Structure 1
Amino acid sequence: MKLSIIIPTYNEEEYLPNLLKSIESQKFKDYEVIVADANSCDSTVRIAKNYGCTVVQGGMPGVGRNNGAKIAKGEILLFLDSDLELTQSYLIEMIEEFEANELDIGITQINPISEKKRDKILHDLANWFMIAFEKIKPHGAGCYGIICKKELHEKYSGFNEKLTFGEDTDYIERIAKNNKFKVLRNPIINVSTRRLEEEGLGKLAMQYGKSTFNDLRGIRTSAEELEYEFDHFPKDPLEKEDLLAKIKKISDNHSIVKSEDLKYIDNKKLDSKKLDDKNLDNKKLELKITNNKLLNIENQKIKIFYSVCGEGMGHAVRSGVILEELTKKENKEKYDIYIFSSDRSYRYLKNKFDNVYEIGGFNTVYENNEVKNKRTLLNAIKATPNNLKENYGILFKKAREVKPNIIISDFENYSSILSKLINVPLISLDNINIITQTFIDYPPHHRQDMLKAKSIIRSYIMRPKRYIITSYFFPKIKNPDKATIYPPVIRNKIRNLEISYGEYVFVYQTSNSNKELIRILKKFNEKFIVYGFNKEGIEGNLTFRKFNEDKIYEDMSNAKAVITNGGFTLISEAIYLKKPIYSIPAIGNFEQLLNGFYVDKLGYGEMHEKINVSTLENFLNNLNKYQKNLYNVKNSDNSGIIKELKKSIEIFSKKY
């Protein structure tokens, strides 16, 4: 026999008939159906027998599947949950793709039995996630059609019966580790949304989010931890309250700290001096450093993975300054540093440092100074599976080879994923997390853009141990124990420049798509030196230049003003050089909008969402006012942020 279909059940009289009908209607007939029932008290067993199924003693969740597999006659096993429905030709498509790819184990994609758009999006995301991670961390979004050779099921002792949740993912991971696995692309299985309706999106997202996060870290999560239940009966509230009362009684009788002791501790007045926030932070940091020294971390070289976003040049420039400090001669005996980046950032850092590795990354798509979200997303989705595969081969394998103690990310998301996969602490050092970690001001009509930016940033950089933020504006921090702000990181070449005000305006653009800017600049009786359009030459009053690190410093230091988007690094350097700023943020880029907004708010120049002749003319007529405000800004060095980073490395580095 080719195929044995195994279905664990418990009180499934409502859903099982639909699944069995969908199996019965398949053109492929070389199969048997085994129902492993966990003592249902409804008509589940009778229904199974009426459809000609073999019924065996079950148990939830892995026991039933294993019991079914023990009597299976098929060379291939297909494990299904009872609330599924097979799509037309599912079995034929599944067998054909499984054998054509010479697979050992696989899983099928899912489609909700629902008309709700929300449900469709959620299941599409689950499919995308499974495919994206199939080469890195084989994963199953529930037991929705797991296909496995029977001989391998037996070799690996089937499902782990000790697990009460995530036994399907554990099963896939163990077998796929040394055998061929794939998310099948052709067969699709229909999935009930009953648990989504019963539990609600919030609770279900928490359950599966926590479980998946732990799976990526190699940790299994129990059903009890997630408050996950396998039956679908309504609960008796009186019975539940009685049970909770019993648990509380047991807990009170066996608690190390009695409730009255807790009350005493809570009410006791502490007669000690109140420390200010900075002193308290320092005490905490000193204590953690002392603890790490007791673990002999100071006697080892700390291995650092430093990963840098490849979008634009700002992340690379800032990281270059930080890395110059960390790789100085006096730090050679302290740190081994491995640098990862993409695109222009990779090339920039490769020319400056050793141990620089190229990884894949995302780039924002711009058109006429506007972010094209759909094209950016489509490009990201297309690139993600390949990036994950390639970056796994670089980041993950390098991590297994050298065992990093700490990962530092300048808004590079694959290092954030790596941190969770290998359970190595993450430090975030960037400017963009000022959006997530502080109470920022922003134009009220951009609230939706702010919320969208927050969600994207949080998905890029996931729960680091420390946020080190660099900024030229200083809003209130939400949690000072978690985050801190320092002035912008400025290159020494910028610091050493002599400031003068020539007869031209310096122009820098993040992308070369802002054609409207060029059209307007040509209307002025002013000279403009323009960077960012990737060309050389003179067009009337415009001089175009390609990026050259030495030349761009000279042009910027002698300019009378700066026109730019909202890029953080260039604005920071313009402020340091006391150059008035005319900011035109890329439409749809909230970070640039925020940077420009604070330029305007602090009186360092003007921010306009669209360029036009009158606003630019007004800006050029008020340069003296902005220069005066800029001269009140006190320039600072990079020593504070370097000290903070070194301290955080000491505190959070993992000991093997």
Structure 2
Amino acid sequence: MKFLFIVQGEGRGHLTQAITLEEMLLRNGHEVVEVLVGKSSSRTLPGFFNRNIHAPVKRFISPNFQPTADNKRADLKKSFAYNLLRFPEYFRSMCYINQRIKETGAEVVINFYELLTGLTYALFRPSIPYVCIGHQYLFLHQDFDFPDKSSIQLWMLRFFTRMTALRSSKKLALSFKEMDQDDEQHIVAVPPLIRQEVTAIQAEEGNYIHGYMVNAGFSDSVEQFHAMYPEVPLKFFWDKADAEEVTRIDETLSYHQIDDLKFLNGMAGCRAYATTAGFESICEAMYLGKPVLMVPAHIEQDCNAYDAMKAGAGIVSDSFNLKSLLRFAGSYSPNRNFVRWVRSSERRIIIELEKLAASQSAVNSIPTFTNYLPI
């Protein structure tokens, strides 16, 4: 089967998921003909993605969140106004996505939580079926348990998630644990897409705290901790566009531009991990047996963090309270069931995609009345 990927380019999670799924499909005799990645003025496409993806990569302008003034959380009102004004650009992107669906020869489209994919299918109704994949689709599952947060923000999150999946054939919800299938919403819970590099690396316990922050404003709380405990080594990764490859504050605190190999090696050798609660890196930390401090940057990450906390990943805070993380690390016990669940990922996901492909082939082979008309 020939697959076309459409990937939301915000953060690193969807990008690493796309790399991992492409590797799975290639191992099972399938092909990814092209990868379309949404871009914005505030984010650059990390170099590791272009180095590791095999299919041709093309970019399009896509909606994105705008940060608050302190560059910590996402400002939903500001984001809505900003993206509404840019709708003409997004409409051109939808035309482009529709064109690529037709011209690549893809038989199945896989959407990694890109809003414009759902809107393209709603407006242009391409005939090629598509599957949505991401942790966010658990938010539509009848059994998902939400944190005690603003009901308006939770409604907006679920609405946004539905928009990314308009007219989709199936939703593969990446989950920390096994869950029943939700037939009404066409949701199948599957294990996280964790890269082979993570499953193959040997984890060791070092003396430093490893970290990742989507919004650089969180560096304030990191530096407050560092001022009080300068003896604790801190190695943080960020997406700060105007920063050097390495910003070294002193011997025990440094910030690094996101680099997949360096990030993974840092994760494997750390004592504990602090993050702005992106799903992908939490899964990597859980797999490697690292305790996690989760500092959500928006409502989606609030839900990620709450779900991960219930799965035993770590603790949740509204700031990079690294003292609490070190205290939690002293009593942390890794979730071994999670490791077994992850190891079944390829088998479960490929089965679901091949079932869709088989059903589509069956539909296409059904004879119509015109097949029997005399020539």
The TM-score range, normalised by the shorter chain, is 0.7 to 0.9
Task: Name stretches of at least 5 consecutive residues in structure 2 with no aligned partner.
Answer: 366-375
> Do structure 1's residue 321 and structure 2's residue 31 form an aligned pair?
no
2:55 equivalent among 328, 347, 354: 354
Shift in Å, 1:609: 2.7
State the match for 2:248 in structure 1: 538
Counterpart Cα distance in 2 of 1:481 and 1:604 = 27
Shift in Å, 1:405: 2.9
State the match for 2:350 in structure 1: 642
State the match for 1:365 in structure 2: 66
Q: Which amino acid aligns with 1:305?
A: L
Counterpart Cα distance in 1 of 2:328 and 2:233 = 17
Structure 1 pair 375–566 and aligned structure 2 pair: CA distance change class (3 A): same
Question: Per the alignment, in what secondary structure is the counterpart of residue 324 of structure 2?
Answer: helix
Counterpart Cα distance in 1 of 2:14 and 2:296 = 18
Counterpart Cα distance in 1 of 2:113 and 2:181 = 19
Structure 1 pair 650–477 and aligned structure 2 pair: CA distance change class (3 A): closer
Shift in Å, 1:475: 5.3
> Do structure 1's residue 447 and structure 2's residue 151 form an aligned pair?
yes
Structure 1 pair 375–456 and aligned structure 2 pair: CA distance change class (3 A): same
Counterpart Cα distance in 2 of 1:558 and 1:335 = 35
Counterpart Cα distance in 1 of 2:38 and 2:65 = 13
Counterpart Cα distance in 1 of 2:24 and 2:184 = 25
Counterpart Cα distance in 2 of 1:599 and 1:336 = 31
Contact persistence 1:574–1:580 (CA under 8 A):
yes
State the match for 1:340 in structure 2: 36
State the match for 1:408 in structure 2: 110
TM-score if structure 1 supplies the norm length?
Answer: 0.49
Larger Rg: 1
Counterpart Cα distance in 1 of 2:187 and 2:63 = 26
State the match for 1:528 in structure 2: 234
User: Which aligned pairs between 1:76-87 and structure 2 lie closer than 5 A?
Assistant: none
> Do structure 1's residue 484 and structure 2's residue 188 form an aligned pair?
yes
Q: Which amino acid aligns with 2:99?
A: K
Query: 1:116-167 CA distances to partner (integer Å, 9 max, x unpaired)?
Result: xxxxxxxxxxxxxxxxxxxxxxxxxxxxxxxxxxxxxxxxxxxxxxxxxxxx
Structure 1 pair 400–634 and aligned structure 2 pair: CA distance change class (3 A): closer
Question: Per the alignment, in what secondary structure is the counterpart of residue 625 of structure 1?
Answer: coil
Structure 1 pair 415–345 and aligned structure 2 pair: CA distance change class (3 A): farther
Question: Per the alignment, in what secondary structure is the counterpart of residue 462 of structure 1?
Answer: coil
Structure 1 pair 576–478 and aligned structure 2 pair: CA distance change class (3 A): same
Query: 1:505-537 CA distances to partner (integer Å, 9 max, x unpaired)?
Result: 001011222243233332224111010153413
Structure 1 pair 532–429 and aligned structure 2 pair: CA distance change class (3 A): same
Q: Which amino acid aligns with 2:202?
A: E
Q: Which amino acid aligns with 1:383?
A: R
Aligned length in residues: 345
Q: Which amino acid aligns with 1:600?
A: M
Contact persistence 1:407–1:419 (CA under 8 A):
no
Structure 1 pair 483–630 and aligned structure 2 pair: CA distance change class (3 A): same
1:375 equivalent among 56, 68, 78: 78
Q: Which amino acid aligns with 1:510?
A: V
Counterpart Cα distance in 2 of 1:336 and 1:531 = 30
Shift in Å, 1:385: 0.8
Query: 1:582-619 CA distances to partner (integer Å, 9 max, x unpaired)?
Result: 11101xx222111211232233211123444xxx4233
Shift in Å, 1:456: 1.3
Counterpart Cα distance in 2 of 1:346 and 1:463 = 30
Structure 1 pair 346–362 and aligned structure 2 pair: CA distance change class (3 A): farther
Contact persistence 1:429–1:468 (CA under 8 A):
yes
Question: Which protein has greater RCO, CA pairs closer than 8 Å, 6+ apart?
Answer: 2
Counterpart Cα distance in 1 of 2:47 and 2:358 = 29
Contact persistence 2:33–2:104 (CA under 8 A):
no
User: Which aligned pairs between 1:431-446 and structure 2 lie closer than 5 A?
Assistant: 431-446=135-150
Structure 1 pair 312–528 and aligned structure 2 pair: CA distance change class (3 A): same
> Do structure 1's residue 602 and structure 2's residue 311 form an aligned pair?
yes
Query: 1:532-561 CA distances to partner (integer Å, 9 max, x unpaired)?
Result: 153413213311111122111111100010
2:335 equivalent among 614, 630, 635: 630
Shift in Å, 1:430: 1.3
Contact persistence 2:141–2:185 (CA under 8 A):
no
State the match for 2:369 in structure 1: none
Identity %: 18
Counterpart Cα distance in 1 of 2:168 and 2:161 = 12
Question: Per the alignment, in what secondary structure is the counterpart of residue 221 of structure 2?
Answer: helix
